[in-house]
Structure 1
Amino acid sequence: MKRALTTLALIAGLSAPAYASECGGNFNAFVKDLRKEAQANGYDAGLTKRFFANVRQDQNVLAADRRQGVFQMDFTSFSRRLISQGRINTGKRKAQEYSAVFDRIERDYGVSRGVLLAFWAFETDYGGFQGDINTLNALVTLAHDCRRPELFRPQVFAALELYRQGNFDPQRTTGAWAGEIGMVQMLPADILENGVDGDGDGKVSLKTSATDALMSGGKMLQHLGWRAGEPWLQEVQVPADMDWSLSGTAQALPISKWQAMGVRPRSGAWDGKGLKAKLILPQGRKGPAFVAYPNFDVYFEWNQSFTYVLTAAYFGTRLMGGPVFDAGNPEPGLEGADMKALQRKLAARGHDVGKIDGILGAGTRAATQAEQKRLGLPADAWPTRALLNAL
């Protein structure tokens, strides 16, 4: 899980850096500038020398950063890949084993156990595999790379602050390829801000203490805006014909409005009848359908992938006893070269779809819906062959 972060000054409590470490160029020179920047902000020269002494560029990290083809999968395929009966059974056991911890999290931070269980499962298989990549190498490699330096450069200094506090070993701390650490995979700056010593041993140990990891994750979600005691996602049934342009992540309507249009919970009553919600159709009007309550937006503060976020949110409902979603009978979507062709056509018409990568992200969905509406097609934001041909 990773998110856009604040500046170095806000993360580590430092003054504005005196050196600007530009991305790209010679790696060793970049590291040298990082050391100068740290010292200019008050860190001891000996400490910074030890911290950066063995850092190296990791080509495997760069390869992983560019190889995220799993996010090209549609929601149904992706969710079936990630959600196994084994993960469900383990989640139920973990909910019982750590029941008292989850009670504390719900009391102190207002976050449901289903939400954290789902993250715990997806990120590290309940702590079973937390990543074996050297964290400092990963962070410096990604800070040096010019794709997202604004995200990763501050994390290097956050790791330095953890090191100064005795909570980070630059040679032995390992985690995911993108620098996340521990059972729920938190970046160093988020550990500084939201790390909790849940088991009372005087340390925040996200790699070895499930209690610390879960409490820290709950605090972080609260920090990101989680609304205590409110739902986050609910499966619904939609009528055969309605104004599909009202669906998507851009606008929320009161539940009473959706109800008036014929939207109904697939089972039971409305979870958040007094709230506003967004109608989410991940595979168009003929596929699965959900309403997303305000807490759903917090997921995007932790991960930017629409498919991952929706799957994590849905899995949280499953772990709380919700039913298997109805996959429906969606129209075939676009994949690979066809999706890239659509993105190029949308970009040529002035839409911001981001990188032409074949991934159906938020920008491509919004552009698809706009063009569907312009062309008189059902504006459900699901790109099909009919739309590609029409463009």
Structure 2
Amino acid sequence: MRLFSPLTALFLTATAALAAPPCGGSFSGFVNGLKAEATAAGHAPATVDRFFASVRQDPKVLRADRAQGVFQLDFTTFARRLISQDRMNRGQSNARKYDSTFDRIERDYGVPRGVLLAFWAFETDYGAFQGDFNTANALVTLAHDCRRPHLFRPQIMAALTLYEHGDFDPATTTGAWAGEIGMVQMLPQDILDNGVDGDGDGHVSLKTSPPDALMSGGKMLSHLGWRKGQPWMQEITVPARMDWSLTGTESPRPISDWAAMGVKPRSGQWQATNLPASVILPQGHNGPAFLAYPNFSTYFEWNQSFTYVLTASYFATRLMGAPIFDAGNPDPGLSGAQMKQLQRKLAKRGYDVGKVDGILGAGTRAAVQAEQKRLGLPADAWPTTTLLKALK
């Protein structure tokens, strides 16, 4: 389920970027280039030969990379599809079963158990399905593909290092189509940087050991910027009228400002009054509403899909005792074809909406909100047929 994050490009060093052979061309020639790069970096030639001996191009990986239609769903539909009562029950059961592990994570890294339980559930259904793509093949296939080679090349070298440590088998290690491994789906470089031997057996086994996977995930979130002791999100109610252009992840304000506008917690009290926060309206001002605290931004270091991030963040609050969200009565959204039409219109107006894919991502949301404000429509970043028709 995880959408590969472009932020893993941070693991690519300037030297590797300069030395990297080009993408594309003959696959065997590309692999030979990788072998030369690995040997030049100091890996033993015999080890490099063994690592790459079984690597094959996998067209299924490329099809998966280009077919992520699930992220075209609106938040309410997506959340209801992913969050079942069974997942709630198993999450609570796992919280009890691994209580001591979660206590250690909260003590050492400050990440609440609900946050990791939600990722564990969404990434692999609590470890039940961790992906059946050969990881080495996936990484090399995606590095050879010229869409985002710089994101995947460093992961190949990280996998080679794991192989040298005895923690990766290029012939048998499997995971997600984008190269993530284990119960919480971590990339090879993530494992090198944040792998933790949570069960004390001397190995970091993210595929078979929940303590290892959960501890490693907690360390990674801490490394990505999670702030200990701070909330991440809570549900709110919004007034019938306010300046909707102030909403969105890029417009944090003091809680006092939101309260003065009529924004209120849906239940209980504000989780923090000393932190800036953003009002998020995933389906416009008539739909569900949430307040996002600074920790919410850490989710985007894990995954770049707005819908996935919001759903994972919400599920974490549910696992920590929050009620089911109020779906409200949002204005009907656009179909996939209409969303693509809208993106093309916005692109012609000079907005950077990224790929025309029918997905309401951050760039499209920002463009929608700007055009809504220009046209005098409620600037809540939720595209409707009214907006589509207004964009001549």
Per the normalisation by structure 1, the TM-score is 0.97
Matched, 1:275 2:275: yes
2-structure distance, mates of 1:7, 1:40: 18
Measured on the aligned residues, the alpha-carbon RMSD in Å equals: 1.1
**Match for residue 24 of structure 1?**
24
**Match for residue 372 of structure 1?**
372
Matched, 1:104 2:104: yes
- SS of 1:146 mapped into structure 2: coil
Matched, 1:199 2:199: yes
- SS of 2:236 mapped into structure 1: strand
Kindly report which structure 2 residues correspond to 1:239-258, keeping only aligned pairs within 5 A, or say none. Answer: 239-258=239-258
**Match for residue 212 of structure 1?**
212
> Which one-letter code corresponds to 2:246 in the other structure?
L
Matched, 1:45 2:45: yes
**Match for residue 318 of structure 2?**
318
> Which one-letter code corresponds to 1:379 in the other structure?
A
**Match for residue 381 of structure 1?**
381
Kindly report which structure 2 residues correspond to 1:164-179, keeping only aligned pairs within 5 A, or say none. Answer: 164-179=164-179
**Match for residue 86 of structure 2?**
86
**Match for residue 146 of structure 1?**
146
2-structure distance, mates of 1:316, 1:17: 37
- SS of 2:294 mapped into structure 1: coil
**Match for residue 295 of structure 2?**
295
> Which one-letter code corresponds to 1:151 in the other structure?
L
May I ask how many residue pairs the two structures share in their alignment? 387
1-structure distance, mates of 2:122, 2:131: 13
Kindly report which structure 2 residues correspond to 1:119-138, keeping only aligned pairs within 5 A, or say none. Answer: 119-138=119-138
2-structure distance, mates of 1:147, 1:251: 31
- SS of 1:129 mapped into structure 2: coil
1-structure distance, mates of 2:160, 2:218: 24
- SS of 2:219 mapped into structure 1: helix
2-structure distance, mates of 1:296, 1:199: 29
1-structure distance, mates of 2:327, 2:17: 51
**Match for residue 222 of structure 1?**
222
Pick closer, same or farther for the CA change 1:146–1:113 going to 2, 3 Å: same
Alpha-carbon distance, 1:389 to partner: 0.6
2-structure distance, mates of 1:237, 1:278: 13
**Match for residue 188 of structure 2?**
188
Alpha-carbon distance, 1:7 to partner: 4.0
1-structure distance, mates of 2:214, 2:11: 26
- SS of 2:55 mapped into structure 1: coil
Q: Percent identity?
A: 71
> Which one-letter code corresponds to 2:345 in the other structure?
K
1-structure distance, mates of 2:123, 2:344: 33
- SS of 1:313 mapped into structure 2: helix
1:25-84 deviation digits (Å, cap 9, x = unpaired): 111100000000000111110000000001000011111111100000000000000000
**Match for residue 358 of structure 1?**
358
2-structure distance, mates of 1:362, 1:17: 27
Kindly report which structure 2 residues correspond to 1:61-76, keeping only aligned pairs within 5 A, or say none. Answer: 61-76=61-76
- SS of 1:295 mapped into structure 2: helix
> Which one-letter code corresponds to 1:239 in the other structure?
P
Query: Are the equivalent residues in 1 in contact too, given 2:175–2:181 (CA < 8 A)?
Result: yes
- SS of 1:77 mapped into structure 2: helix
- SS of 1:38 mapped into structure 2: helix
**Match for residue 264 of structure 2?**
264
Alpha-carbon distance, 1:21 to partner: 2.0
2-structure distance, mates of 1:9, 1:355: 27
Matched, 1:238 2:238: yes
1:215-272 deviation digits (Å, cap 9, x = unpaired): 0000000000000011101000000000000001111001111001000000000011
Query: Are the equivalent residues in 2 in contact too, given 1:27–1:57 (CA < 8 A)?
Result: yes
> Which one-letter code corresponds to 1:382 in the other structure?
W
Kindly report which structure 2 residues correspond to 1:5-24, keeping only aligned pairs within 5 A, or say none. Answer: 5=8, 6-9=10-13, 16=16, 19-24=19-24
- SS of 1:150 mapped into structure 2: helix
Alpha-carbon distance, 1:20 to partner: 2.0
Query: Are the equivalent residues in 1 in contact too, given 2:235–2:265 (CA < 8 A)?
Result: yes
Query: Are the equivalent residues in 2 in contact too, given 1:17–1:41 (CA < 8 A)?
Result: no
> Which residues of structure 1 form unaligned runs of 5+?
none
1:172-191 deviation digits (Å, cap 9, x = unpaired): 11111111000000000000
> Which one-letter code corresponds to 1:375 in the other structure?
L
Alpha-carbon distance, 1:344 to partner: 0.6
1:282-321 deviation digits (Å, cap 9, x = unpaired): 0000000000000000000000000000000000000001
Per the normalisation by structure 2, the TM-score is 0.97
